[in-house]
Structure 1
Amino acid sequence: MAIADASIGAALVPSDAVSRNERWARIRRRLVVWVPAGSVTFLLLLCFVGPFVLPLPSPIGGSVLDSGLPPGTAGHPLGTDVNGNDVLSRLIYGGRASLTIAIATNVIGLVVGGGIGAVSGFLGGKADTVIMRALDVLIAFPSLVLTIAIAQILGPSVPNTILALSAFSVPAVARIARSATLKIANMPFIQAAELSGSTTWRTLTRHVVPNITPQMLNFALLGMGIVIVTEGALSFLGMGIPAPAPSWGNMIFEGQQSLSATPLLVLWPSLALLVTVLSFNMLGENVRDEMSGR
């Protein structure tokens, strides 16, 4: 009876209303995908192409005579900081530094961690046990504490920050790669490749790696937000990108020293950090949903 009532109710809904609902559902699905993708594309273009096409002043070396200018001042749309540097310029150049570190860290994680995980999962046995126990030692440490310790030892610089952040990126990606490799290691096409005389290296590079790459790229997109936040924390603590070079983290640190007088100096980099992390997380979730068929 309930099924019949539901069928009757569905039949009573006007067809134009159903089509409108379906149309709005498609629009919402497209917005969920294209809004974060558009945000990420805009951020990448703004940070990497913007400095070459926009009339931006230097992000460092400002005059103290121009310190504390409010937003809307001629030549300074977002005003200036306490050192007289243009806030918009520092946001864009700081975003370039943060995104460069995040991309480099994830590339190292994909290449090194992905390679270690694929080899470990494909070989199995004692080799797999030794490799994974070594990675478990790294994963056992709190990631932020381990990163801060490495950054403190190496000193503040962009290359050292990338190396420090890679310390938790590589083990995490390795576990994802190993898990994905174990799922396909015994599939018929892998067994067929081995029976045809394919070497272990050829099987890994021609059959295993291409099949686990989409899952690893999805994880890397989600990891972009984590790396950007962690880099911001390191720069905030003075162990990331050294001042006066701009970074969203050290901009927040510098702004909080005069928070009551100029709260916008903290608000702008905080908003940039929030929008960037949220966009990468949403994009990664959309890619994951597409891969899972949802």
Structure 2
Amino acid sequence: MAVTDLLTATPKLTTVSGMRSAEIRHRLKIWGPVGFLFLLMAICMLGPYVLPIPAPIGGSVLDSALPPGSPGHPLGTDTDGNDILSRLIHGGRSSLFVAITVNAIGLVIGGTIGAISAYAGGVIDAIIMRALDILIAFPSLVLIIVIAQGLGPSIPTTILALIAFSIPAVARMARAATLRVTSMPFIQAAELSGSPAWRVLLRHIAPNIAPQLLSFLMLGMGIIIVAEGGLSFLGLGIPVPNPSWGNMIFNGQQALSATPLQVLWPSLALLLTVLSFNLLGENLRDEMSGR
């Protein structure tokens, strides 16, 4: 009898074990990227204050192109004698600041425009959508380069140029999400109870479209970081000698044969950051769709 019970229980134990393994993998899909991004942001924001690293600019040419592991320079130095680790951390701070700012502004402005357009409908919706269609139809890269070139390279200019790309995309996403929510019974109940339009938008629509916009913005973070890196690479983003991952790659490729690690480190940081944001955004989207 005991042997029979053991044989009967074995498939159940296997099933429970499989469920636990699946749950662990499912959690890692979310918390893996979150953990990496949290660590990255902590290092970039707090690193200059707590780590014994030199300033990212003002290095001596006598210390140029030092190899990794040199005293005081764990990742070595670039051709100008600047510490690569310091520039990597400060460059990450600049890139993340631009991406977070652009996405926050895009969420507020684009989300508001898209939600109002969908909820108002009629002529208002048609006018807003035609304006967004014009912006989206214009090549985004060309628009970003024109704005950056016209205003000159700087962090505010980079943010402004990328906002012109972010707002239309977020607005369209917010409009589509709002159209799905407005057909639900609780929205109709709120309208029948006499709630004004602004209250319906703030208290009922905004909380219900926020998860979808959050997932979309996680994907947008990766796109904005790549776009900022591209602008800096072209000399239209964050101006040198201020570091960003993009201009570090640009400066490093000029001496690629002599100091390949000068390009490798910012490229690796850019790759892992964008990959983490993309994985997080896709997994959040799958979570909300019930997969």
TM range (shorter): over 0.9
In 2, Cα distance between the equivalents of 1:226 and 1:17?
42
Q: What amino acid maps onto 1:31 in structure 2?
A: L
**Number of the residue aligned with 2:3:** none
Aligned residue pairs total: 285
**CA apart distance, 1:190:** 1.4
**CA apart distance, 1:15:** 4.4
Go from structure 1 to structure 2 and tell me whether the alpha carbon gap of 1:208 and 1:18 turns closer, same or farther (over 3 Å shift).
closer
Question: Which residues in structure 2 correspond to 1:1-294 (within 5 Å)?
Answer: 14-294=11-291
Among all aligned residue pairs of Structure 1 and Structure 2, give the percentage whose two residues are the same amino acid: 68
* Structure 1 runs, 4 residues or longer, greater than 3 Å off: 11-23
**CA apart distance, 1:35:** 1.2
- Residues 188-219 of structure 1: CA distance to partner in whole angstroms, max 9, x if unpaired? 21122222221111211121112111111111
In 1, Cα distance between the equivalents of 2:123 and 2:200?
20
In 2, Cα distance between the equivalents of 1:182 and 1:45?
38
Q: What amino acid maps onto 2:254 in structure 1?
A: Q
Go from structure 1 to structure 2 and tell me whether the alpha carbon gap of 1:210 and 1:252 turns closer, same or farther (over 3 Å shift).
same
Go from structure 1 to structure 2 and tell me whether the alpha carbon gap of 1:69 and 1:219 turns closer, same or farther (over 3 Å shift).
same
- Residues 222-281 of structure 1: CA distance to partner in whole angstroms, max 9, x if unpaired? 100000000000000000000000000000000000101111111000000000000011
- Which deviates the most, 54-63 or 20-29? 20-29
In 2, Cα distance between the equivalents of 1:22 and 1:261?
52
**CA apart distance, 1:79:** 0.2
Partner of 1:58, secondary structure, is coil
- Residues 120-150 of structure 1: CA distance to partner in whole angstroms, max 9, x if unpaired? 0000001100000000111012222211111
**CA apart distance, 1:14:** 4.5
- Residues 84-108 of structure 1: CA distance to partner in whole angstroms, max 9, x if unpaired? 0000000000000000000000001
Unaligned runs of at least 5 residues, structure 1: 1-10
Q: What amino acid maps onto 1:27 in structure 2?
A: I
Partner of 2:77, secondary structure, is coil
In 1, Cα distance between the equivalents of 2:77 and 2:37?
26
- Residues 30-82 of structure 1: CA distance to partner in whole angstroms, max 9, x if unpaired? 22222111111111101111111111110001111110100000110000001
**Number of the residue aligned with 2:5:** none
**CA apart distance, 1:16:** 4.3
- TM-score, length-normalised on structure 2? 0.94
Q: What amino acid maps onto 2:192 in structure 1?
A: L
Go from structure 1 to structure 2 and tell me whether the alpha carbon gap of 1:26 and 1:201 turns closer, same or farther (over 3 Å shift).
closer
- Residues 128-183 of structure 1: CA distance to partner in whole angstroms, max 9, x if unpaired? 00000000111012222211111111111101100100111000000000011111
